[in-house]
Amino acid sequence: MSEILDLVTVISRLLKAENILLLCHKNPDGDTIGSAAALYHVLKGLGKTVAVTCSDEIPARYDYMEIGMYDGSFEPRYIVAVDVAGIQLFGDPVSQYADRVDLCIDHHPSNGGYADAMLLDGEAAATAELLYSLFESMDVSITPLIANCLYTGLATDTGCFKFANTTAKTHLVAARLIEAGADLVKLNNILFESKSRSRLEIERIALESLEYHFDGACAIISLTKEQIERTGVEPLDLEGITSLPRMIEGVRVGITLRQQPTGSYKVSVRTEVGVDAAQICAHLGGGGHKQAAGCEILGSMENAKAALLSEVERALCKES
C-alpha cells in the first residue's frame, strides 16, 4: 500500500524531483486533464523538466490549457499520477508506468494505493481542489493559465457546482481562481454551453434505450460500440451523457453502460444522496464516490444489466 503523505512532504519531494512525467487516466475528463495541466505549468515555472501523457488523445476543446505532452525527449525519473484511482484506468501505452508511480495525487476514497506514495483527500470535490491547496502551501503564483486549468477540473467534477460533492470550500476555491484570472465566461461556455452534433446524436440514441426498474427508482441507458463508432462521438462527450438517467424525476439510481472496443462495458453510476454509488460498483470491481462511481463488466449486455440491477436492488433495500 501507498505511503500517505502530507502537503509539506509532497512539496519537498516535488522540489527535489527531476524529469517528471505526469500521468492522466484514459478517457480523460476535465479533472485529470486540468489537474495535470496545472501541475505541469507550476513545475515548469520552477524550472523542472516535465511533461504530461495519456493513453487517449486530449480533446481539442482543452487546447487553451497549453499542455506540454510527453514526446520521449527525456527519460522519466519521477512519475506522478493525477486523478487516477487505480492502475486499470491508465490504459495502453501509459500502463507501462503503472508499477513505477512515485506519487499519486487523488481525491477518490476508493484509490487502490498502487503508487509508492499518495496525497489523498477523499473530501475534496476534485483533484483540482486538492492541487489548489498544494499550490497555496507551495506559495506559487496562480497565473490566469493555471487558474483556467484548475477551474476546469473543479467545475467539471462538480457538474458546474451542482453535484453533492460540492462544498463551501469548493466555492471558496472557485472564487479564488476567478480572482486569479480564470476566464469564467469562456470556460463555462466551452465546458457546459456547447454540444457537438455527434454529442446530441449519441444522447438521442442513448435515450431510445432507456429502461426503468424498481418502480422507476432506477433508470438505465446503454450504447453499443457500433452506435458509438457510427456517431463518431469523442470520449469526453460520452462522459457527458452519464448524468442523463439520474436527471429523470423519481430516479434514485441512474446507470449508463457503454460498450468498449474490446467488448466489455464501461459502467457509470450516479445516485441521489442516501444511495451509495461507490458501494454498488465496489461489488463489481469498481469504485468512486458516494454519488458518482464506475466499473467495467465483461460479458453480454444482458449479463451486465443483471449484475448491476442485483447490486442496485441491494442498495435500495438497504435505504428503505
Give the E-state strand segments of 110-181 in sequence order: 117-120
Does position 128 have pLDDT exceeding 90, yes or no?
A: yes
Does position 288 have pLDDT exceeding 90, yes or no?
A: no
Domain ranges of the chain: 3-192, 197-319
pLDDT at res. 27: 87
Does position 320 have pLDDT exceeding 80, yes or no?
A: no
Average pLDDT across the chain, whole number:
95
Query: What mean pLDDT is predicted for residues 61-65?
Result: 96
Sign of CA dihedral 155, 160, 165, 170: positive
pLDDT at res. 239: 80
pLDDT at res. 2: 92
What angle in degrees, to the nearest 10, is found between the helix axes of 168-179 and 127-138? 60
Query: What mean pLDDT is predicted for residues 167-175?
Result: 98
Which band of pLDDT confidence, cut at 50, 70 and 90, is reported for residue 235?
confident
User: Nearest to residue 83, comparing CAs of 58, 105, 53?
Assistant: 105
Which band of pLDDT confidence, cut at 50, 70 and 90, is reported for residue 238?
confident
Strand partners, 78: 20
What is the C-alpha to C-alpha distance for residues 217 and 213, in angstroms, rounded to an integer?
Answer: 6
Helix, strand or coil, per DSSP, at residue 218? strand
Does position 310 have pLDDT exceeding 90, yes or no?
A: yes
Q: Which letter does DSSP use for residue 54 in this model? A: -
45: exposed, middle or buried (C-beta count within 10 Å: 0-12, 13-18, 19+)? middle
What is the C-alpha to C-alpha distance for residues 239 and 123, in angstroms, rounded to an integer?
Answer: 22
Give the E-state strand segments of the chain in sequence order: 3-4, 20-23, 50-53, 78-82, 103-106, 117-120, 211-213, 218-223, 253-259, 265-271, 287-288, 292-297
**Which pTM does this prediction carry?**
0.85
What is the C-alpha to C-alpha distance for residues 96 and 76, in angstroms, rounded to an integer?
Answer: 12
Does position 319 have pLDDT exceeding 80, yes or no?
A: no
What is the C-alpha to C-alpha distance for residues 255 and 145, in angstroms, rounded to an integer?
Answer: 35
Which residues are CB-contacts of 14 (< 8 A; sequence separation ≥ 6)?
A: 20, 43, 80, 103
What is the C-alpha to C-alpha distance for residues 175 and 28, in angstroms, rounded to an integer?
Answer: 25
Does position 10 have pLDDT exceeding 80, yes or no?
A: yes
User: Nearest to residue 36, comparing CAs of 126, 164, 166?
Assistant: 126
The domain covering 3-192 belongs, at the CATH homologous superfamily level, to inorganic pyrophosphatase (n-terminal core) (3.90.1640.10)
Residue with cell 509508492: 116
Calculate the CA 49 to chain-centre distance: 25
Which residues are CB-contacts of 232 (< 8 A; sequence separation ≥ 6)?
A: 198
Does position 74 have pLDDT exceeding 90, yes or no?
A: yes
Query: What mean pLDDT is predicted for residues 199-212?
Result: 96
Which percentage of the chain shows pLDDT scores above 90? 88
End-to-end C-alpha distance for the chain, whole angstroms: 36
Does position 236 have pLDDT exceeding 80, yes or no?
A: no
Calculate the CA 86 to chain-centre distance: 12
pLDDT at res. 1: 82
What is the C-alpha to C-alpha distance for residues 186 and 194, in angstroms, rounded to an integer?
Answer: 11
What is the C-alpha to C-alpha distance for residues 225 and 208, in angstroms, rounded to an integer?
Answer: 16
What digits encode the pLDDT tens for the residues 129-159?
Answer: 999 999 999 999 999 999 999 999 999 999 9
Does position 56 have pLDDT exceeding 70, yes or no?
A: yes
CATH number assigned to the domain with residue range 197-319, chosen from the 4 options 3.80.10.10, 3.40.50.1580, 3.10.310.30, 3.40.50.720 = 3.10.310.30
The residue type found at 281 is: C
Does position 116 have pLDDT exceeding 80, yes or no?
A: yes
User: Nearest to residue 277, comparing CAs of 258, 253, 296?
Assistant: 253
Pick the range with the lowest mean pLDDT from 32-36, 108-112, 152-156: 108-112
pLDDT at res. 245: 97
Does position 161 have pLDDT exceeding 90, yes or no?
A: yes
